[in-house]
């Protein structure tokens, strides 16, 4: 989340619609761009985007291997190698890979992942280059859990608090497999020193398979709570192409960087969801029994069954331009983008409410009328002014637009496109004669058709109407000395539903129904108003222990509302992290390239709850990560 809104993921300049989280071992650089950046990128939410650049061949040979270890049985191995293929160096390669396996703080949950990222770069001539990148990730287990009731996590239960190791699902159907594969090329050609053509293409295919349980209903007096079984199989295939010209002009004292281009994207997504309403039984939260759940997702099941088959294809194309003008100390940014998109979808639904006394089986119903087309113009303008004493004020206004491909509301309807606008003003101050940067920003964002999780129907979204986010961000980045680095940040945010026709059920933490209330004016659940982060890294002087570095971090997350009715809160929490690193070259030149690192997060092993959803039981809550110890030894040559 960024500024109260879901961040958009971009990889090498193209939106990623992968259903699988990216692998950090494959990333060269990550940049968080706050605010709408839809002029160049397209279809970006008002909060901002995460721009990731994958590893690819460079001019310097790379040879690195590492092994990692940690608590909960974590073992990890990575490699990253790259060099010239031809003697001239016009053909280069690079390949990175990873394998990970570990347990979890929660019983019966395991995390496994393997992946590889090969790439080749061909410098066709001095002005033309082509880079090919492939990626494959397979995660047979992603360690998902069913959560816990609010009683026993936020407040003590009959026997106190539930341990973080407690698993309230069932191992017999605890499945969460993921897979993604992609192919990408990047082409560039410089016509002269003023004009360059760039093109990026990617094909991306991914799938997820979930077979699990979720908690439903209130905690009963016998300390049991009902579970429902559900299965979701989702697949996505994306083709994306972005072509642009970049120009550099200088007229008198005015410098301009011009960008003009067009892009195209086609996304096919299919989703099958089925619920076995009565097939998962009840679980005693203090003494759970396992291997008792055998769901039947067929319509002939005697239990209350419901399933949906959803298919959707979206086509999006856009043209864009941007002009970055620099005149002395003044910089001005102007840009615009025109988007066209259309989609068509098919929804097949069926249910068996006979077991619930609602009648006979409903035969599968197909609705192929889910069609829509729309065009939208978005634009962005801003300026900065660099004073000679290091102060840079700035102001920007931007609009955003993003269709919600793959986001379905209960019943199969496609979620409506998001559109938003943002005002932002701020200051940046580079302290003279130092390496210290201080920043401050204030923003006001509005988004229509804000999507929230439908907590009563896993796998679906709900429309919260118009949401407004207002906030302030402060940060400091300082290399105090050559051996001391410090980063610190504070953010304040208020995100409310400012226009909504929704009536939400008010329930307390025990699941008691207190009636309904309008969602309008309420805070969006799960978003803290206050957050603080600080990190300090110190490399010890030669006379003490040359080459040894130690670091310390603080993370504070303010309280959040557990539901959009704002009937109760998830408490705030404060965490401490420590770490150390050592370059063995300082002990002996023969050990050059050997490095060891150790990190301990949540040093005090604080028990805390990260979030609670607004289900009918008063909420399903999730514990944060307990103390985690991770060590790594790497060797580069």
- Which among 605, 627, 623, 628 has a CA at the least distance from the CA of 166? 623
152 falls within a domain: yes
Range in 171-185, 331-345, 501-515 with the lowest mean pLDDT: 501-515
Q: Would you place residue 124 in the very low, low, confident or very high pLDDT band (cuts 50, 70, 90)?
A: very high
555 falls within a domain: yes
Report the alpha-carbon distance of residue 446 to residue 422 in Å, rounded.
Answer: 7
pLDDT (0 to 100) of residue 515: 86
How would you label 328-362 residue by residue, b for 16+ Cβ within 10 Å and e otherwise?
eeebbbebbbbbebebbbbbbbbbbebeeeeeeee
pLDDT (0 to 100) of residue 357: 39
3 falls within a domain: no
CB 183 within 8 A of CB 203: yes
Segment 77-111, tens digit of pLDDT: 999 999 999 999 999 999 999 999 999 999 999 98
Q: Would you place residue 355 in the very low, low, confident or very high pLDDT band (cuts 50, 70, 90)?
A: very low
1 falls within a domain: no
**Higher-scoring residue by pLDDT: 76, 3:** 76
Q: At residue 364, does pLDDT exceed 60?
A: no
Q: At residue 448, does pLDDT exceed 80?
A: yes
- Bridge partner list, 148: 621
Close Cβ partners of 584 (under 8 Å, ≥ 6 residues apart): 547, 591, 592, 594, 595, 596
Q: At residue 358, does pLDDT exceed 60?
A: no
pLDDT (0 to 100) of residue 489: 97
**Higher-scoring residue by pLDDT: 613, 537:** 537
Q: What order of strands is seen across the sheet that includes strand 8-11? A: 14-15, 8-11, 48-54, 27-34
CATH number of the domain within which 513 lies: 2.40.170.20
pLDDT (0 to 100) of residue 530: 97
403 falls within a domain: yes
Range in 328-342, 391-405, 526-540, 583-597 with the lowest mean pLDDT: 391-405
pLDDT (0 to 100) of residue 155: 92
Segment 14-38, tens digit of pLDDT: 888 777 778 889 999 988 877 655 5
Segment 489-524, tens digit of pLDDT: 999 999 998 888 777 778 888 878 888 888 888 998
Q: Would you place residue 365 in the very low, low, confident or very high pLDDT band (cuts 50, 70, 90)?
A: very low
Q: How many CB atoms lie within 10 A of CB 126?
A: 8
pLDDT (0 to 100) of residue 165: 95
Range in 259-268, 560-569, 593-602 with the lowest mean pLDDT: 560-569
CA dihedral 150, 154, 157, 160 (to 10 degrees): 140
Close Cβ partners of 340 (under 8 Å, ≥ 6 residues apart): 316, 317, 318, 373, 374, 375
Torsions phi, psi for 590 (to 5 deg)? -70, -20
Segment 131-169, tens digit of pLDDT: 999 999 999 877 677 889 989 999 999 999 999 999 999
CB 115 within 8 A of CB 95: no
- For the chain, the domain total comes to 1
423 falls within a domain: yes
Q: How many CB atoms lie within 10 A of CB 88?
A: 8
Q: What share of the chain is helix, strand, coil (3-state, %, to 5)?
A: 5, 65, 35
Segment 34-70, tens digit of pLDDT: 765 555 555 666 777 888 899 999 999 999 999 999 9
Q: Is 149 exposed, middle or buried (0-12, 13-18, 19+ CB in 10 A)?
A: buried
What mean pLDDT is predicted for residues 610-624? 78
156 falls within a domain: yes
- Torsion 517-523-527-528 (CA) sign: negative
pLDDT (0 to 100) of residue 130: 98
**Containing domain of residue 604, as a range?**
8-636
Structure tokens at 289: 């029994």
pLDDT (0 to 100) of residue 363: 44
Q: At residue 125, does pLDDT exceed 70?
A: yes
Q: At residue 208, does pLDDT exceed 80?
A: yes
pLDDT (0 to 100) of residue 482: 85
2 falls within a domain: no
Average pLDDT, the chain: 87
**Higher-scoring residue by pLDDT: 406, 526:** 526
**Higher-scoring residue by pLDDT: 249, 373:** 249
Helix, coil or strand: residue 41: coil
Close Cβ partners of 342 (under 8 Å, ≥ 6 residues apart): 314, 315, 371, 372, 373, 374
Report the alpha-carbon distance of residue 520 to residue 500 in Å, rounded.
Answer: 5
Q: At residue 454, does pLDDT exceed 80?
A: no
Q: Would you place residue 213 in the very low, low, confident or very high pLDDT band (cuts 50, 70, 90)?
A: confident
């Amino acid at each position: 989340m960024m500024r109260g809104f879901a961040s958009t993921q971009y990889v090498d300049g193209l939106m990623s619609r992968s259903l699988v989280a990216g692998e950090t071992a494959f990333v060269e650089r990550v940049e968080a761009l706050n605010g709408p950046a839809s002029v160049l990128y397209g279809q970006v939410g008002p909060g901002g985007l995460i721009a990731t650049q994958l590893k690819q061949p460079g001019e310097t040979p790379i040879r690195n291997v590492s092994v990692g270890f940690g608590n909960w049985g974590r073992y990890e191995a990575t490699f990253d190698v790259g060099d010239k293929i031809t003697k001239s160096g016009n053909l280069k390669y690079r390949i990175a890979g990873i394998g990970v396996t570990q347990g979890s703080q929660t019983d019966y949950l395991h995390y496994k992942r393997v992946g590889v990222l090969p790439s080749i770069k061909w410098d066709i001539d001095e002005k033309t280059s082509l880079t090919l990148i492939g990626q494959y990730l397979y995660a047979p287990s992603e360690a998902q859990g069913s959560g816990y009731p609010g009683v026993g996590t936020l407040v003590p239960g009959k026997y106190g608090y539930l341990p973080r190791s407690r698993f309230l699902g069932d191992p017999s159907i605890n499945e969460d497999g993921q897979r993604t594969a992609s192919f990408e090329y990047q082409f560039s050609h410089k016509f002269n020193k003023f004009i360059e053509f760039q093109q990026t293409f990617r094909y991306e295919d991914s799938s997820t398979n979930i077979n699990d349980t979720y908690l439903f209903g209130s905690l009963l007096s016998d300390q049991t709570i009902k579970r429902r079984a559900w299965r979701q199989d989702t697949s996505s295939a994306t083709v994306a192409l972005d072509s642009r010209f970049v120009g550099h002009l200088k007229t008198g004292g005015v410098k301009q960087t011009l960008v003009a281009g067009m892009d195209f994207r086609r996304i096919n997504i299919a989703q099958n969801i089925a619920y076995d309403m009565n097939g998962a039984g009840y679980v005693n939260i203090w003494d759970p029994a396992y291997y008792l759940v055998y769901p039947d997702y067929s319509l002939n099941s005697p239990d209350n069954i419901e399933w949906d088959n959803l298919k959707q294809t979206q086509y999006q194309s856009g043209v864009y331009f941007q002009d970055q003008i620099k005149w002395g100390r003044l910089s001005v940014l102007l840009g615009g983008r025109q988007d066209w998109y259309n989609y068509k979808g098919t929804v097949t639904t069926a249910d068996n409410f006979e077991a619930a006394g609602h009648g006979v089986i409903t035969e599968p119903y197909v609705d192929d009328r889910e069609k829509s087309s729309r065009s939208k113009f978005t634009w962005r303008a801003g300026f900065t002014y660099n004073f000679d004493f290091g102060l840079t004020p700035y102001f920007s206004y931007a609009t955003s637009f993003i269709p919600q491909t793959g986001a379905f509301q209960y019943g199969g309807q496609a979620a409506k496109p998001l559109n938003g606008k943002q005002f932002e003003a701020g200051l940046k101050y580079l302290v003279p004669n130092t390496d210290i940067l201080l920043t401050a920003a204030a923003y006001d964002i509005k988004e229509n058709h804000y999507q929230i999780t439908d907590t009563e129907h896993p796998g679906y979204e709900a429309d919260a109407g118009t949401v407004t986010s207002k906030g302030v961000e402060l940060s400091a980045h300082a290399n105090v000395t050559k051996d001391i680095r410090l980063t610190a940040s504070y953010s304040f945010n208020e995100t409310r539903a400012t226009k909504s026709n929704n009536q939400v059920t008010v329930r307390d933490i025990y699941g008691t129904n207190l009636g309904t209330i309008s969602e309008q004016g309420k805070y969006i659940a799960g978003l803290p108003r206050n957050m603080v982060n600080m990190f300090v890294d110190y490399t010890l002087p030669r006379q003490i222990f040359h080459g040894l570095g130690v670091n310390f971090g603080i993370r504070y997350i303010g309280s959040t509302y557990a539901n959009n009715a704002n009937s109760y809160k998830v408490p705030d929490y404060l965490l401490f992290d420590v770490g150390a690193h050592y370059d063995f070259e300082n002990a002996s030149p023969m050990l050059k390239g050997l490095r060891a690192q150790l990190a301990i997060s949540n040093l005090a092993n604080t028990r805390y709850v990260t979030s609670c959803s607004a289900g009918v039981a008063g909420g399903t809550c999730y514990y944060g990560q307990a103390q985690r110890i991770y060590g790594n030894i790497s060797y580069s040559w």
